[in-house]
Homo-oligomer: A and B are copies of this chain.
Amino acid sequence: MKRVAFADVSDGTSERSLMVVMKPDESRDLSTGACVEISGLLKPSQGAKQDLELEAQKIKTLGAASADYPLQKKYHTPEFLRSIPQFRWKSTRNSSVLRYRSYAHEQLSKYFSENLFTHVQSPVITSSDCEGAGEVFQVRAQDSPDFFGKPAYLTVSSQLHLEVYAAALSRVWNMTPAFRAEESDTNRHLSEFWMVEAELAFTKSLHDVTSVAEAMIRGILPRGLIATDIIASIRDPERQEMVQKRWEMIENSDHEWPRITYTEAVETLQREATHLRKLEWGDDLGSEHEKYLAGNVFRGPVFITDYPVDLKPFYMKRSVGTEKTAACFDLLVPEFGELIGGSLREDDYDVLMANMEKLGMDATDMGWYTDLRKYGSFPHGGYGMGFERWVCYACGVDNIRDAIGFPRWAGSCSC
C-alpha cells in the first residue's frame, strides 16, 4: 500500500506466519521466497487475522529470491510441488505433514517406552529374501560385486529380525525403512517407506497384540497444537471436516474396537454388500470390502481376525482349534481399508518347518530364524504398520508421495 507494506514471514515451525509491517521502500527486496532478518517491535495487531504483528525497525535480506523462484503465493498442485523437491516442503500444507511426522515419531517413542518396549533398529541390508515376493532391490558394492560373499537385498520387512530381538528383550519395536521394487504407479505405493513394527514375547493371545496396536494408534492421534496445524494447513473446508471426523471417530470410539473373524466378515459381506464383488470363503478381501466393513458396517476401526492360512505367510500361527485359519489380524479404518497387519508367530519348530516345505521354501539359509523355535521357543506375536499410510490417513493426504520427504518410486529418484 502507499504508506505501509506487509510481509508474511515464516520459519517453518508452525503453519502460522508472522505479519511484518514496514515502510513501502523497505520492502523492495522482499520477494516471495527471500530469507530475511528483521528486528522490530512486537505489538498487538489491528488486523483480524492475527493477534500480534511485528513493526519492523531493521530489515536485512540474507538471501534474495529472484522472480523465477518456483513457489509463488498461490495454489500449487501436489504434482508441481513434487517436481521441486528442494522447495516443496516450504509450502504450508506440505510442511505441516512433516511436523506431524515428527510429532508422531515422538509419541511413538513415548508410548512404547511407557509400555516397556525396547526400541531396536533392524538391518536394511539383508541376505534373507524370505517373503519371496521377487520385487526386491539388490545391493552391490560398486567396486566389489561380491562384497558380502552372497546376494544381498534391501529389507522388505523387519519382522524376522524383530523376532530375534524379542527373543532377547521381550517387547520390542522399531521404525525402519523398508523397500519394494514395485512397478505399480499408484498413489498408494512407495519403493522406500518407513515401517512401524512391534513384537511381543510371551503372548499366546492375539488380543494382546491387537490391544497394543489400538493403544498405539490412539497415542499418535493428532492433538493440541499439531491438530490445529494440520487443519489450518488444509485449504478445502470439506477436507478439513473429513480429517477432523477421522480423528473424532478414533478419539470417541470405545476402548476395544470390535474384533470379528474373517469368516464373520465374509458372511456379513455376502449378506449385506451385494453390490460389491462377490466373495467366497477363502477369497482375500479387496479394498472395497475393507472400506465397506469399516465405513458402513462398523463406522469406525475394526479388527478382522483369523484369515484363511492360504492367504497368509508361512510364519503365522494357526488359530486355536483349527488348521484352516491363522491367528492373525488386519486393522481396517473407514475410507481407507487396511492400516495394520499382524499375527501370532508359529512357535512350534516342526509346524514351522512343515509350513515352509508346503510352500516350497528353502529352509537351509533360514536356520537363524527357525532356531528360535528349536532352542527355548517362546510364544509371541506382533504387527507392522506402513507409517506413510497412517500419515495419509491422519493428515488427509491423498497421495502417499506427499507423506514422505523424498519419495521414491519407479522412474523417480531425483536427488
Give me the interface of A with B, judged by CB distance under 8 Å: 11-13, 33-35, 37, 62-66, 69-70, 85-87, 89-90, 94-95, 98-99, 101-102, 105-106, 109, 113, 116, 118-128, 134-144, 147-150, 152-154, 160-161, 164-165, 167-171, 176-177, 179, 181, 183, 191-192, 194, 201-202, 347, 367-369, 371-379, 404-406, 408, 410-415
Q: Are A368 and B142 in contact (CB under 8 A)?
A: no
CB distance from A62 to the nearest CB of B (A): 6
CB distance from A295 to the nearest CB of B (A): 30
Q: Are B118 and A99 in contact (CB under 8 A)?
A: yes
What would be 28 A-B contacts, judged by CB atoms less than 8 Å apart? Answer: A12-B168, A13-B116, A13-B118, A35-B377, A62-B379, A85-B164, A86-B372, A89-B168, A98-B165, A99-B118, A102-B113, A106-B113, A121-B194, A124-B192, A125-B191, A125-B413, A135-B142, A137-B139, A137-B147, A143-B181, A147-B181, A147-B410, A147-B411, A149-B412, A152-B413, A161-B406, A161-B415, A369-B415
**Chain B residues with CB below 8 A from A37, complex form:** 202
Can you tell how many copies of this chain the complex includes? 2
Given contacts A122-B406, A376-B64, contact A167 B13 (CB under 8 A): no
CB distance from A386 to the nearest CB of B (A): 13
Apart from A122-B406, A138-B140, A144-B410, 17 more pairs, CB < 8 Å: A12-B170, A13-B169, A35-B376, A37-B202, A63-B375, A66-B374, A87-B371, A89-B165, A95-B169, A123-B192, A124-B154, A125-B408, A139-B139, A144-B183, A147-B183, A147-B411, A368-B414
Contact among B62, B106, B369, B408 with A109 in the assembled complex (CB-CB below 8 Å): B106
Q: Compute how far the CA of A124 lies from the CA of B379 in the bound complex, rounded to whole angstroms.
A: 34
**Chain B residues with CB below 8 A from A372, complex form:** 86
Given contacts A113-B106, A377-B35, contact A128 B69 (CB under 8 A): no
Q: Compute how far the CA of A137 lies from the CA of B152 in the bound complex, rounded to whole angstroms.
A: 11
CB distance from A65 to the nearest CB of B (A): 4
Q: Are B142 and A377 in contact (CB under 8 A)?
A: no
Q: Are A127 and B415 in contact (CB under 8 A)?
A: yes
* 7 A-B pairs with least C-beta separation: A63-B377, A141-B181, A89-B168, A102-B119, A148-B413, A123-B406, A12-B169
Residue of B nearest to A148 (CB): B413
Contact among B66, B141, B368 with A137 in the assembled complex (CB-CB below 8 Å): B141
Residue of B nearest to A371 (CB): B86
Q: Compute how far the CA of A412 lies from the CA of B143 in the bound complex, rounded to whole angstroms.
A: 17
Q: Are A87 and B375 in contact (CB under 8 A)?
A: yes
CB distance from A172 to the nearest CB of B (A): 9
Contact among B86, B99, B121, B148 with A369 in the assembled complex (CB-CB below 8 Å): B86
**Chain B residues with CB below 8 A from A377, complex form:** 35, 62-63
Contact among B63, B118, B127, B144 with A376 in the assembled complex (CB-CB below 8 Å): B63
Given contacts A13-B118, A148-B410, contact A154 B168 (CB under 8 A): no
**Chain B residues with CB below 8 A from A148, complex form:** 408, 410-413
Q: Are A405 and B35 in contact (CB under 8 A)?
A: no
